[in-house]
Amino acid sequence: MLPAARRKKRKLMDNRLPEKVAAYVPESALYTQLQEYERKIDACLLQKQSEVQDALRRPHHIAKKLRLYVYNTHANQEASATSSEPPSWALVIQGKLVEPQAAGAPGQPPNPPVYQPPSQPFTHYIRRITAQLDSEQYSDGEEHVVWEKGQHVRNHKDSFEIRRRGSQDVEVVLQIEVDNQPDRYTLSASLSAVLGLKLATRTTVLHTLWAYIKTHRLQNAQQVSQVDCDAQLSAVFQAKSVKMSSLSGRINPHLRLVEPLALRYTVRVSGASPTHPDSYDIDLEVPAPTMDQATAPLLQHLNTSREVEQLDLRIMTAVRKLHEHKRRRAFFLGFSQSPVDFINALVASQGRDLRYMKGEQGVEYEAMRRSDLFKGKWVEDAVLRHLHKRLAAG
């Protein structure tokens, strides 16, 4: 038996069964198998938990539609002796963010009841607007108009206007470049056939490509950093196998930034003012509202589970009791086999523990008491010297 001072109390969190329990309880092998399954499940849950947390904390975007309205107004087009203002017109481009399911058909009035108020002004979602007027009617820089978001960061508006003097109809070519955050790309025909995407962000393309690789088991079993291309991927990458780290660079030739929306509009200086608007819908992805409040309970549930913790505590308490019963069995079994030797060993063990606690573990009193060393003639002389020193000091 081990000295009491040297015995370390087992931690409550230790849920391993004693080694000899299997000999007494053959069914304990099932518990060991369950522990192995539990370790595998915990590893899988930990991986999935990390993936869920990354997905929840990753910036999300939701699909919207940016509805454009293009129309013009005109003034002072009819000659009047009392009017001193020259004839003029104004081209107006308005935009509103609408839900895809509430977008309806283009061509409706600018303010139907189903619209929801946009979170940002129209020009917030536009990167650049270019207007090219008829060069035969306007020159000296008046025929070319460019609006760039970078020059109007703090001055966003719900509409964009071009005003000119004139009494004739004007042909205008508009190019509207949407500010996608992040940028959206048009996929090549070959890559689009593999992934089933036509327009997507670079991150979406890479995620979809990785999902395609996992679904078709194209990752090399011996070299996990290698992808063995099937017939479709070979046609895209022009290779039978590619490295995982090179996928980001290999998709570059197959991605092209979405081209600006090109529109032709005729400014009419006769008839109703404003004119009936031409409307267009543009697919757009905008950042989703903050999800901190919505995801906090889910993240908390992933991190802690009271029911699982209580079951683990019950298992560990039962295992601790098994360890205690095992020690008691060993104690009584040793006493029943040889009571005298057991008591002598127990007393000796307790004596060692007592000397260890008093700091006298280096002195062997029992050996000194039975030794013939102290039967020599030097003992009497040593005792006299000791008594003389005590009398001299006293």
The domains located in the chain, with CATH, are 1-60+292-394 (no CATH), 61-182+258-287 (2.60.40.1970), 184-256 (1.10.245.10)
pLDDT in tens, 204-213: 898 889 888 8
- Write down the pTM of the prediction: 0.53
**Torsion angle in degrees (nearest 10) through CA of 387, 389, 390, 394:** 140
Bridging pattern class, strands 170-178 and 261-267: antiparallel
Instruction: Of 22-31, 82-91, 215-224, give the lowest mean pLDDT range.
Output: 22-31
Instruction: Give which of 57, 59, 54 is closest to 181, Cα–Cα.
Output: 59
Quick one: average pLDDT of 115-132?
77
Instruction: Of 164-178, 203-217, 378-392, give the lowest mean pLDDT range.
Output: 378-392
Instruction: Give which of 107, 102, 36, 40 is closest to 70, Cα–Cα.
Output: 107
Percent of the chain scored above 90 by pLDDT? 14
Check pLDDT > 90 for residue 56.
Answer: no
Structure tokens given for 329: 């069995």
Strands (E), the chain: 61-75, 88-98, 126-133, 144-148, 159-165, 170-178, 184-187, 199-201, 226-228, 241-243, 255-257, 261-267, 278-287
Backbone angles phi, psi at 68, to 5 degrees: -100, 145
Structure tokens given for 386: 């000791």
Residue 130 DSSP class = E
Check pLDDT > 60 for residue 221.
Answer: yes
pLDDT value of residue 292:
55
CA angle in degrees (0–180, nearest 5) for 384-390-392: 100
For residue 125, the SS3 value is helix
Q: CA of 71: how far to CAs of 159, 162, 377, in Å?
A: 11, 11, 129
Higher pLDDT, 352 or 236: 236
Residues in a beta bridge with 175: 130, 262
Q: CA-to-CA distance for 247 and 239, rounded, in angstroms?
A: 12
Check pLDDT > 60 for residue 349.
Answer: yes
Quick one: average pLDDT of 116-139?
82
Residues in a beta bridge with 63: 285
Q: CA-to-CA distance for 213 and 215, rounded, in angstroms?
A: 6
Check pLDDT > 70 for residue 191.
Answer: yes
* Confidence band for 175, pLDDT divided at 50, 70 and 90: very high
Residue 391 DSSP class = H
* Confidence band for 59, pLDDT divided at 50, 70 and 90: low
Q: CA-to-CA distance for 213 and 52, rounded, in angstroms?
A: 21
Q: What b/e string do you get for 151-171 counting C-beta neighbours within 10 Å, with b at 16 or more?
A: eeeeeeeeebebebebeeebe
Check pLDDT > 50 for residue 2.
Answer: no
Most confident of 13-17, 291-295, 320-324, 370-374: 320-324
Q: CA-to-CA distance for 352 and 21, rounded, in angstroms?
A: 30
Higher pLDDT, 33 or 370: 33
Quick one: average pLDDT of 358-386?
70
Instruction: Of 2-11, 150-159, 210-219, 298-307, give the lowest mean pLDDT range.
Output: 2-11
* Confidence band for 172, pLDDT divided at 50, 70 and 90: very high
pLDDT value of residue 103:
46
Higher pLDDT, 287 or 167: 167
Instruction: Give which of 135, 136, 123, 133 is closest to 164, Cα–Cα.
Output: 133
Q: What b/e string do you get for 357-388 counting C-beta neighbours within 10 Å, with b at 16 or more?
A: eeeeeeeeeeeeeeeeeeeeeeeeeeeeeeee
pLDDT in tens, 238-247: 888 999 888 8
Q: CA-to-CA distance for 50 and 261, rounded, in angstroms?
A: 40
